[in-house]
Each structure stands twice: as C-alpha cells, then as structure tokens.
Structure 1
C-alpha cells in the first residue's frame, strides 16, 4: 500500500519562505514609511522611499534566500558524497552504523540487523541520508523556490503599507489639520497611525493564516508578529522624530 496520509510538514519549505517574505515586507516597508513620515517628509518623498524599499527588499530577500539555501544544498551534497565514498569503501561498517541507530530507536539487535541489511539492499544511500544524516524529501533545500517565493511574498507584503500611503490623501482623515499641506509633527500622526494600524492588522492576519496552514497555535503566532511588528515601527518612528527635519 502507498502511504497516502496528508501531513503539514510537506509545507515546511515554501511556507517558511512565504511567511518570512510577507512578514518582512510588511514590517520593513511600514517601518520605513513611518520613519520617513515621522521625519516630516512630504508625500511624494514617502512614496518614493516606500517603492525603493519594496524593490530593494524583494531583491535582497531573493538573493539572501538563494545564497543561504544554496549553502545548505552544498553542505547536504558534501555529506552525501562522503556517504557514497564510505559505502563503497566499507559497506560492512555502514551496515553496523544503521544497526546501531535502529537499536537506539528500540529495535532488538537481530531485527535491527535485518532492517539495516534490507534497507541498504534497496537504497543504501537513501537509508543513510534519511536515518544517519536526517535528510528527507520534505527537508530538501530548494534555493530557486525559496528565492522566488520570498521575493514575491515580500513584494505583496510591502505593497500593503505602500498602498495605504498612496490612497491616504483621498481618505477623510487626510484632511484633518491639512496633513498634506502642513509639515508639522502633529500633522504626520494620522498618516503614521493609519499605516501602522493597517500593517499590524495585516501582520495579525498573516500570523493567523500561517499558523492555520502549519497546524500551529494561532494566538501564539499572532502575538509574535504583533509584538515584533509594533517594536519595529515604534523604533523607526522614534528615529524619524528625533532626527527629522522641521518646517521653516
């Protein structure tokens, strides 16, 4: 019989890259926009800064994921090559290695010997990759997939706070104290509050969806992303207020 049960662990590879990309896109872009707004920049400057952050962040995520996951692939291949050499040079020792592993997992020595011999007769390298090195199809590194997923999800995440900045002048809140005209510290607060609120709601939704997809605790996931998202926005806003320009 073929194993047909569904397990969420099969989603680990792309889910990690997707959540990391979207989360980073929301947090970094919203924090960047809030920091620049707190520095009393005008609306076009804030928009250009947000777009530049989106493009640079997406490329950085793609490059970073590809390089880091490629390094993991190189390490995995080096370990597999070593196992191939050991299997060719000392097959008996490799059987005993698997036997010891299975004994540690609870099998009787005679049964462990039989299991090791039969698995190695079927696929020696696969048996050692799985049981000695811990490498499986689920955990296999995929650099290109990670790079593409990270770049796309980062762009999607970053577009949320950026979109709020672009449509903000058309919202009723934008006309309180003539935000678009006056560059005072008080006038920037509605924009900062709007972008921050929407970004935090997006992070909470992302955390909840990722937890549901992975079968984890929704409340814990939401609490994590909310805490770190809020901390990032508060710090960058503080930097903007401290080092921002003042109107003449």
Structure 2
C-alpha cells in the first residue's frame, strides 16, 4: 500500500504545487488590461485637467474681481473650451494611433498571403528571442499560425491586439465627460458660497478632488498611491497659486 502511494506521488499528471504556485489574486492576469488602462488614462487626464485648469481660471479671476457673474462667465468659458479641446485632442490622437495600427496590420496581412513560410520563420525567430528553444518556438509558431496567423504576428511582432484596436470616439467621449465633471467642482465652489468663503471653499474642494482622483487612478492602475496623489496635489497648488498671483497683480495695477 505504501509503495502504491509512493508511486502515485511520482505520476506525471500529479500537480507540482511547489513549481506551479497559484496566481496571486492581486496580480492583473485578466484580458483587456490595455484597453482598461487606455480608458483610465483618458478619464484621469480629463478629470485632472478639468479640475486644475478650471480652478486656475476661477481662482485667477477671483484674485482680480469678486464679481460672481465674471467668475461664472470665466468658469463656463473654461469648462466648454477645455472639454471640447480635450475631446477633439483625444479623437485626433487616438484616430492617428488606430490608423497606424490598421496600416501595420494591412502590411502584415499582405506579407502572410505572399510569403507564409518566411513569416512562419520570422515568428519562430521572435519566439526564440523570448527564451524558447528553437524546436519549441517552431512548434508554437506553427500552432499559432494555424489558429490565427494575423493575430499571432500582430501580438508577437507588432504588439497589437487586432480585436482591441483603440476607439477614438470612446476616448473622445471619456475625455469630454470626465473634463466636464472635473471642471464643475471648482466652478460651483467659486460661485455658490458667500463672498468671504469662495476662495477657501474652492481651494479645499480642489485639493480633496485631486487627492481622490490621484488615489483612484493609482488603485485602478495597480500603481503606488502616494506618488500619484502628490503629483496631482502639487500641480493643482502651483496652478492656483500662479493664477491667483497674476490676477491679484493685474487688479493692483488697474489693468
């Protein structure tokens, strides 16, 4: 009985837990991480820009005048201009990226049709460069080619997933919405409170928003929290300090 148990422990199908540990639950092993990070990038950039740029505008104007209508006009102008600019910029940028990816895929598609053996050898070489033996690399390359030749070359050679090309409209809308949401906070904070509380409420609200945004972006991106928060807060403080100083100076000189 003891021999049978010993023999069973050496079976090739017995799991080797020492050499094959379970995946840690906190590691990003799921698909679509690149797409999620692209959305995160657009949303975080939009929200940060909305908070910081609009806060800079209204705080700068507040340094020059206490007129609620002037603050509201300047804040709304900054909100609309910024959100539309961010959306247009993201659309153009991501459209260019998508065009480049599609052009690269078109070239790869033509090469696969014209010289399939050369492309198989190229894929084998790329896999071999990743530390796989040539025999195994060749076998893997053949299986990948048989299953999805274009997808295999796109991922290994070009670093592109043909099924997850960047969508410019998604990026544009994400930037527009996130910028608008971020910009509304300093705009409302500067126009709603009484005169004596406007600046303090705006500064505190902006700092809380930047801390929250930095923390969320770091957590979703599996990055350290403190550096992200410090960068966000430092950028916002500098922007508000500079614009307020400029507004105060212009008011003092009578411009």
Fold shared by both chains (TM-score > 0.5): yes
CA shift for structure 1 position 7:
6.1
Deviation digits for residues 145-192 of structure 1 (CA, Å, limit 9, x no counterpart): 1000110010000000011122112xxxx35xxxxxxxxxxxxxx533
CA shift for structure 1 position 139:
6.1
CA shift for structure 1 position 67:
0.7
- Which residue of 20, 25, 41 corresponds with 2:45? 20
State the structure with more CA Rg: 2
Q: For residues 133-212 of structure 1, what are the structure 2 equivalents within 5 Å?
A: 133-136=158-161, 140-169=165-194, 174-175=195-196, 191-212=198-219
The answer as to 2:123 corresponding to 1:98 is: yes
Local SS of the residue matching 2:193: helix
Q: For residues 1-248 of structure 1, what are the structure 2 equivalents within 5 Å?
A: 6=30, 9=33, 10-40=35-65, 42-136=67-161, 140-169=165-194, 174-175=195-196, 191-244=198-251
Preserved CA contact (<8 Å) 2:218 2:228: yes
Local SS of the residue matching 1:168: coil
Unaligned runs of 5+ in 1: 176-189
Aligned residues: 227
Superposition CA RMSD, Å: 2.1
Preserved CA contact (<8 Å) 2:151 2:162: no
CA shift for structure 1 position 130:
0.4
CA shift for structure 1 position 195:
1.3
Unaligned runs of 5+ in 2: 1-28
CA shift for structure 1 position 47:
0.8
CA shift for structure 1 position 8:
7.8
Preserved CA contact (<8 Å) 1:12 1:138: no
CA shift for structure 1 position 90:
1.3
Deviation digits for residues 90-140 of structure 1 (CA, Å, limit 9, x no counterpart): 111111111111111111101111111111111111001100000126863
The match for 1:187 is: none
The alignment's TM-score, normalised by the length of structure 1, stands at 0.85
Tell me which of the two structures has the higher relative contact order, counting C-alpha pairs closer than 8 angstroms and 6 or more residues apart.
1
Deviation digits for residues 3-61 of structure 1 (CA, Å, limit 9, x no counterpart): xx646825212111111111110000000101111122522101111011111111111
